[in-house]
Amino acid sequence: MGGLANGVLGLWLAAAGSPVVDATEVVEDLVVDMRYATPDNFLKQKVYPDGARCLLLPQTAERLKKAADTLRAQGYRLKVYDCYRPIAVQWQMWKIMPKPGYVANPKKGGNHNRGAAVDLTLVTADGAEVEMPTPFDSFERAAHHGYQGGTKASREHREILRAAMEGAGFKRNAMEWWHYDLPGATKLPVLDVPFSAK
Protein backbone atom coordinates (compact mmCIF):
# COMPACT_ATOMS: atom_id res chain seq x y z
CA MET A 1 0.00 0.00 0.00
CA GLY A 2 2.92 2.34 0.70
CA GLY A 3 4.07 2.14 -2.93
CA LEU A 4 0.61 2.96 -4.23
CA ALA A 5 0.21 5.88 -1.85
CA ASN A 6 3.61 7.29 -2.77
CA GLY A 7 2.93 6.87 -6.48
CA VAL A 8 -0.41 8.59 -6.23
CA LEU A 9 1.04 11.37 -4.11
CA GLY A 10 3.66 11.96 -6.76
CA LEU A 11 0.93 12.82 -9.24
CA TRP A 12 -0.68 15.49 -7.05
CA LEU A 13 1.18 18.48 -8.36
CA ALA A 14 1.09 21.86 -6.67
CA ALA A 15 -0.40 24.53 -8.89
CA ALA A 16 -0.46 28.27 -8.30
CA GLY A 17 -3.88 29.84 -8.38
CA SER A 18 -5.79 26.68 -7.44
CA PRO A 19 -9.26 26.54 -9.04
CA VAL A 20 -10.75 24.88 -5.93
CA VAL A 21 -11.58 26.02 -2.40
CA ASP A 22 -11.61 24.22 0.93
CA ALA A 23 -15.31 23.61 1.55
CA THR A 24 -14.87 24.05 5.31
CA GLU A 25 -14.00 27.69 4.67
CA VAL A 26 -17.37 28.17 2.95
CA VAL A 27 -19.53 25.89 5.13
CA GLU A 28 -18.14 26.51 8.61
CA ASP A 29 -20.05 23.71 10.38
CA LEU A 30 -19.31 21.11 7.69
CA VAL A 31 -18.32 17.70 9.10
CA VAL A 32 -15.48 16.11 7.12
CA ASP A 33 -15.05 12.34 7.00
CA MET A 34 -12.90 11.71 3.92
CA ARG A 35 -13.39 7.97 3.59
CA TYR A 36 -10.67 7.43 0.98
CA ALA A 37 -8.12 8.78 3.48
CA THR A 38 -8.95 5.64 5.50
CA PRO A 39 -9.44 1.95 4.64
CA ASP A 40 -13.19 2.37 5.39
CA ASN A 41 -14.36 2.41 1.76
CA PHE A 42 -15.16 -0.04 -1.04
CA LEU A 43 -11.48 -0.17 -2.08
CA LYS A 44 -10.63 -1.39 1.44
CA GLN A 45 -7.47 0.68 1.28
CA LYS A 46 -6.31 4.22 1.96
CA VAL A 47 -5.74 6.10 -1.29
CA TYR A 48 -5.85 9.72 -0.08
CA PRO A 49 -3.05 11.25 2.02
CA ASP A 50 -3.37 12.24 5.65
CA GLY A 51 -4.80 15.74 5.79
CA ALA A 52 -6.86 15.33 2.64
CA ARG A 53 -9.36 18.18 2.45
CA CYS A 54 -12.82 18.55 0.95
CA LEU A 55 -11.90 20.62 -2.09
CA LEU A 56 -14.58 21.87 -4.48
CA LEU A 57 -15.01 24.38 -7.26
CA PRO A 58 -16.22 27.69 -5.80
CA GLN A 59 -19.63 27.30 -7.44
CA THR A 60 -19.98 23.79 -5.99
CA ALA A 61 -19.02 25.03 -2.53
CA GLU A 62 -21.50 27.92 -2.72
CA ARG A 63 -24.35 25.55 -3.57
CA LEU A 64 -23.25 23.31 -0.73
CA LYS A 65 -23.47 26.31 1.60
CA LYS A 66 -27.00 27.00 0.41
CA ALA A 67 -28.01 23.41 1.16
CA ALA A 68 -26.30 23.54 4.56
CA ASP A 69 -28.13 26.75 5.43
CA THR A 70 -31.46 25.12 4.57
CA LEU A 71 -30.67 22.01 6.62
CA ARG A 72 -29.35 23.94 9.62
CA ALA A 73 -32.79 25.49 10.04
CA GLN A 74 -34.17 21.93 10.22
CA GLY A 75 -31.68 20.82 12.87
CA TYR A 76 -29.19 19.08 10.56
CA ARG A 77 -25.63 19.53 9.32
CA LEU A 78 -23.85 18.05 6.32
CA LYS A 79 -21.09 15.48 6.56
CA VAL A 80 -18.94 14.94 3.45
CA TYR A 81 -17.35 11.63 2.48
CA ASP A 82 -15.71 12.66 -0.79
CA CYS A 83 -15.26 15.85 -2.79
CA TYR A 84 -12.50 16.52 -5.34
CA ARG A 85 -10.73 13.29 -6.32
CA PRO A 86 -7.36 13.07 -8.09
CA ILE A 87 -7.43 11.29 -11.45
CA ALA A 88 -4.80 8.79 -10.24
CA VAL A 89 -7.26 7.57 -7.60
CA GLN A 90 -9.96 7.32 -10.27
CA TRP A 91 -7.76 4.85 -12.15
CA GLN A 92 -7.37 2.78 -8.97
CA MET A 93 -11.14 2.67 -8.46
CA TRP A 94 -11.72 1.74 -12.10
CA LYS A 95 -9.36 -1.25 -11.78
CA ILE A 96 -11.47 -2.56 -8.91
CA MET A 97 -14.91 -1.70 -10.31
CA PRO A 98 -15.00 -0.80 -14.03
CA LYS A 99 -18.74 -0.19 -13.93
CA PRO A 100 -19.99 3.11 -15.40
CA GLY A 101 -22.73 4.63 -13.30
CA TYR A 102 -20.92 3.62 -10.13
CA VAL A 103 -17.34 4.52 -11.07
CA ALA A 104 -16.49 7.03 -13.80
CA ASN A 105 -14.15 5.92 -16.59
CA PRO A 106 -10.85 7.71 -15.85
CA LYS A 107 -10.18 8.16 -19.58
CA LYS A 108 -12.90 10.81 -19.50
CA GLY A 109 -12.76 11.65 -15.81
CA GLY A 110 -15.71 11.95 -13.49
CA ASN A 111 -17.31 14.92 -11.80
CA HIS A 112 -15.33 14.27 -8.61
CA ASN A 113 -12.19 14.77 -10.72
CA ARG A 114 -13.54 18.20 -11.66
CA GLY A 115 -14.35 19.38 -8.14
CA ALA A 116 -17.98 19.35 -9.23
CA ALA A 117 -19.38 16.42 -7.22
CA VAL A 118 -19.79 15.70 -3.55
CA ASP A 119 -20.64 12.56 -1.57
CA LEU A 120 -22.37 13.37 1.68
CA THR A 121 -24.94 12.57 4.33
CA LEU A 122 -26.89 14.22 7.13
CA VAL A 123 -25.90 14.44 10.77
CA THR A 124 -27.72 16.10 13.65
CA ALA A 125 -26.75 19.56 14.86
CA ASP A 126 -24.39 17.96 17.40
CA GLY A 127 -22.83 15.70 14.76
CA ALA A 128 -24.62 12.42 15.49
CA GLU A 129 -25.30 10.05 12.59
CA VAL A 130 -28.82 9.72 11.23
CA GLU A 131 -30.18 6.60 9.60
CA MET A 132 -29.91 6.36 5.81
CA PRO A 133 -31.04 3.52 3.50
CA THR A 134 -27.50 2.09 3.21
CA PRO A 135 -23.96 2.87 4.28
CA PHE A 136 -21.84 5.09 2.01
CA ASP A 137 -20.41 3.34 -1.08
CA SER A 138 -23.05 0.61 -1.10
CA PHE A 139 -23.58 -0.81 -4.58
CA GLU A 140 -26.97 -2.33 -3.91
CA ARG A 141 -30.47 -1.42 -5.02
CA ALA A 142 -31.26 -0.02 -1.59
CA ALA A 143 -28.87 2.87 -2.36
CA HIS A 144 -31.05 4.03 -5.27
CA HIS A 145 -33.18 7.13 -4.79
CA GLY A 146 -36.30 5.26 -5.87
CA TYR A 147 -35.88 2.50 -3.28
CA GLN A 148 -38.98 2.23 -1.11
CA GLY A 149 -37.76 -0.46 1.29
CA GLY A 150 -35.93 -0.03 4.56
CA THR A 151 -37.21 2.04 7.43
CA LYS A 152 -39.44 5.09 7.20
CA ALA A 153 -36.79 7.14 9.00
CA SER A 154 -34.10 6.22 6.46
CA ARG A 155 -36.31 7.21 3.55
CA GLU A 156 -37.29 10.47 5.24
CA HIS A 157 -33.65 11.40 5.86
CA ARG A 158 -32.76 10.60 2.25
CA GLU A 159 -35.58 12.88 1.10
CA ILE A 160 -34.59 15.71 3.44
CA LEU A 161 -31.06 15.58 2.01
CA ARG A 162 -32.33 15.36 -1.58
CA ALA A 163 -34.70 18.31 -1.18
CA ALA A 164 -31.97 20.51 0.28
CA MET A 165 -29.38 19.55 -2.33
CA GLU A 166 -31.70 19.87 -5.30
CA GLY A 167 -33.07 23.09 -3.83
CA ALA A 168 -29.51 24.42 -3.85
CA GLY A 169 -29.13 23.52 -7.53
CA PHE A 170 -27.45 20.11 -7.43
CA LYS A 171 -28.41 17.09 -9.52
CA ARG A 172 -28.79 13.74 -7.76
CA ASN A 173 -27.25 10.47 -8.89
CA ALA A 174 -30.19 8.06 -9.22
CA MET A 175 -28.15 5.07 -8.01
CA GLU A 176 -26.39 6.68 -5.03
CA TRP A 177 -28.36 8.59 -2.39
CA TRP A 178 -25.14 10.29 -1.19
CA HIS A 179 -23.85 11.59 -4.57
CA TYR A 180 -24.72 15.03 -6.01
CA ASP A 181 -23.33 16.81 -9.06
CA LEU A 182 -23.01 20.37 -10.27
CA PRO A 183 -25.21 20.71 -13.40
CA GLY A 184 -23.13 20.80 -16.60
CA ALA A 185 -20.11 19.40 -14.76
CA THR A 186 -19.04 17.10 -17.60
CA LYS A 187 -18.10 20.17 -19.66
CA LEU A 188 -15.62 21.33 -17.02
CA PRO A 189 -11.91 20.37 -17.06
CA VAL A 190 -10.43 17.50 -15.06
CA LEU A 191 -8.20 18.94 -12.33
CA ASP A 192 -4.86 18.04 -10.78
CA VAL A 193 -4.44 20.00 -7.55
CA PRO A 194 -2.81 19.29 -4.16
CA PHE A 195 -4.95 17.72 -1.46
CA SER A 196 -3.20 18.89 1.66
CA ALA A 197 -2.80 22.42 2.94
CA LYS A 198 0.73 23.80 2.66
Is 119 flagged in the annotation as binding?
yes
62 catalytic? Reply is no
Is 179 flagged in the annotation as binding?
yes
Q: Which of 62, 140, 156, 176 is catalytic?
A: 176
Comparing CA positions, the residue from 185, 167, 154, 172 lying closest to residue 69 is: 167
Alpha-carbon distance of 198 to 183, in angstroms, equals: 31
Comparing CA positions, the residue from 34, 35, 32, 28 lying closest to residue 68 is: 28
Is 181 flagged in the annotation as binding?
no
Q: What are residue 61's phi and psi, to 5 degrees?
A: -65, -35
CB 21 within 8 A of CB 161: no
Which residues belong to the active site? 176
| Residues contributing to the annotated binding site | 112, 119, 179
